[in-house]
Amino acid sequence: MTDSPDSNVYDLVILGAGSGGYAAALRAAQLDLSVALIEADKLGGTCLHRGCIPTKALLHSAEVADTIHDSASFGINSSFEGIDMGTVNSYKDGVVGRLYKGLQGLVKAAKNIDYITGWGKLVAKDAVEVDGTVYKGRNIVLASGSYPRTLPGLEIGGRVITSDEGLQLDTVPKSAIVLGGGVIGVEFASVWKSFGADVTIIEALPNLVPNEDVALSKALERAFRKRKINFATGTRFSGVEQNDDGVVVTTEDGKTFEAEVLLVAVGRGPATEGLGYEEQGVPMERGFVRTNERLHTGVGNIYAVGDIVPGLQLAHRGFQQGIFVAEEIAGLQPAAIVESGIPRVTYCEPEVASVGLTEDQAKEAHGDAIETVEFNLAGNGKSQILKTTGFVKLVRQQDGPIVGVHMIGTRVGELIAEGQLIVNWEAYPDDVASLVHAHPTQNESLGEAALALAGKPLHSHS
């Protein structure tokens, strides 16, 4: 074990260069802090290489396929010749590659960031070791990310795959079973259905996307039925057998399901094992790193960000946490991040987007003193042009601000920016109703929902 080069002590030593880690590094560099950024895999982490970006590229290809299938209803005669997964993957990998190259350029251009490739381990409260070299930091930021989880006794291999393998398939499965009806599960189910596969989702909880407002979950289920995406909710997995033709999945209620592949999409686990966290006294809970609202672990000057911190496992959450920690270390005293104010988008078709409290959460927080309204996209001109159905649901405290925005429909993820401003700035319905929303846009639906909640509906019934 040797000291870091020239016995240098960095202001920040960051273990992990995913969304949280690289954001902390870049922001710290802007603040003239010295940084050692350590990564065993690739700069950009899961989000860029095995998560957000490649899956959304697949979803866009799926949208193009759907558009061709439905083109005649728009007066465009076209024929669908099939899916060329080689070209789809080339397109996907090209998007990832260009973003990866750009990110590498940003880190390289920051003269006070040393990028270190290798497996790092926390060996002291102020040091991380990589291949026998110790990098000391006045502050340590743990940002080691997550991995695809599985269930006890359910081994990954062969025709039983996770999202990592799903992104690398060079053919479209004729049929697929998706274990898990959360974000990852419904996105893959949506892609494969658009590509022509027969898809069945198995979800143990009562609804698809169970973390969303129940109204959104039920609306997504209706939409999936219309798309002929099969699903069994309230159904617990029992076991799986593989054969030459595919998999046979059994559930605890005695039912069996057959398909070419089984995608295990039961969430992501924190990548913390064997990294020295517990040995240095970092507080842990089920593999996650516990922090206070300032993202400090309570041990030395050790912080943690991203998927290893309990809460929403979202790239933009980790990104913002990375910025927050850099500013905290620099003494800027940034405002603490409010978890409920982080926007959430599921990019299946139709899209699901939300921010703030669900109706049930609002009732827990405020009792019965809440009001809700739903504006149906049938009354929105642009949604009619896009031939999408869905709604915008607003939840407010009675005589108070809007505390939740929930949407379902094609492209509604693009509306979440205004939704998060409404919630995080504690806007009242009248505040939003007085804003001018461009016509015809789907964005008008937020204004229309606010008009209705303010007691003056225009294109909706009160």
Active site residues: 439
The contacts of residue 282 (CB under 8 Å, 6+ apart) are 122, 142, 289, 297, 299, 302, 304
- Are 454 and 430 in contact by the 8 Å Cβ rule? The answer is yes
321: its two tokens = 């946490």
- Give the separation between CA 148 and CA 168, rounded to whole angstroms: 15
**Reduced to 3 states, what is the DSSP secondary structure of residue 228?**
coil
Which residues are registered as beta bridge partners of 36?
13, 114
List the Cα angle 253/256/262 in 5-degree steps. Answer: 115
Burial of 340 from C-beta contacts in 10 A (0-12 / 13-18 / 19+): middle
**Reduced to 3 states, what is the DSSP secondary structure of residue 235?**
coil
Q: Give me the sign of the Cα torsion angle 410, 146, 218, 460.
A: negative
- Give the separation between CA 124 and CA 355, rounded to whole angstroms: 39
Numbers of helices and strands, H then E, in the chain:
13, 24
- Are 15 and 38 in contact by the 8 Å Cβ rule? The answer is yes
Helices (H), 274-380: 315-329, 359-366
How far from the centroid of its chain's Cα atoms is residue 401's Cα?
26
Distances 193 to 56, 61, 80, 175, 189 between C-alpha atoms, Å: 15, 12, 15, 9, 6
Place of tokens 């204004």: 447
Amino acid identity at 176 = A
Q: Which helix (DSSP H) or strand (DSSP E) does residue 397 occupy?
A: strand 391-397
- Are 307 and 315 in contact by the 8 Å Cβ rule? The answer is no
- Give the separation between CA 312 and CA 73, rounded to whole angstroms: 39
- Are 279 and 192 in contact by the 8 Å Cβ rule? The answer is no
Comparing C-alpha atoms, which of 448, 402, 392 is closest to residue 424? 402
